[in-house]
Amino acid sequence: MKDFIDLLMLKVKEILADKRQRGIAIVALIFVLALAAALPGYMKKTSTTEYCASCHVMLVQYDDWFYSGKHTQIRCVDCHLPNDNFVNHYIWKGLDGIKDVVYFYTGLVPEPIHSSSHARITIQNNCVRCHEGLVSAISVDTMHCWDCHRKQFHGRINEF
């Protein structure tokens, strides 16, 4: 470990000795610090249900959730993103976000919007995670929560 630290310190001294590399390092450090400062706020904002509904193609899903859904006290990301660990949640948040932006700006949004196979697995896992005590008596391996509770989520929308 000491060798690694010595090598790292040597590299830092080399960078600081070169005026051009020092400038690049300072700009990179400022960028990384600004990103680190902004990221928590951005993640918080993009995790709200209102943010999800800000895309006009999601208005029907938002209205169904808001007016007829039984889970109006939770956010879209509570069901539609993996919540088993922090890293998995943010990796899929990024991947799904990029996919949604590409679909939206290329006009490739399907009508009606359906959940992908990965999304269905994620939604099922989140149902079981939240309602573990209720589902312990049934087999969630052979049955999906929406088989019986289809109208509990997005009332009029059949996303499955």
Residue 74 lies in a domain: yes
List CB contacts of 100: < 8 A, sequence separation 6 or more. 55
- Mark whether 30 and 60 lie in a shared domain: no
CA-to-CA distance for 156 and 80, rounded, in angstroms?
Answer: 18
Residue type at 10?
L
Q: Which helix (H) or strand (E) holds 25?
A: helix 19-45
Q: How big is the chain by its Cα radius of gyration, in Å?
A: 22
- Mark whether 112 and 146 lie in a shared domain: yes
Number of domains in the chain: 2
CA-to-CA distance for 16 and 26, rounded, in angstroms?
Answer: 10
Give the range of the structural domain holding residue 9, as residue numbers without chain letter.
1-45
> pTM for the whole thing?
0.69
- Mark whether 61 and 139 lie in a shared domain: yes
Residue 7 lies in a domain: yes
Per-residue pLDDT band at 69 (split at 50, 70, 90): low
Nearest to residue 78, comparing CAs of 68, 93, 64? Answer: 93
Tell me the per-residue pLDDT of 51-68, one tens digit each, with 9 for 90 and over.
Answer: 888 877 788 888 888 877
- Mark whether 110 and 158 lie in a shared domain: yes
Residue 50 lies in a domain: no
- Mark whether 59 and 134 lie in a shared domain: yes
Per-residue pLDDT band at 88 (split at 50, 70, 90): very high
Which phi and psi angles does 136 have, rounded to 5°?
-65, -20
- Mark whether 35 and 65 lie in a shared domain: no
Domain boundary among 45, 63, 78: 45
Residue 100 lies in a domain: yes
CA angle 51, 63, 88 (to 5 degrees): 45
- Mark whether 133 and 66 lie in a shared domain: yes
Residue pair 65/154 in contact (Cβ under 8 Å)? The answer is yes
Residue 120 lies in a domain: yes
CATH of the domain at 139: 1.10.3820.10
- 122 pLDDT more than 90: yes
- Mark whether 18 and 89 lie in a shared domain: no
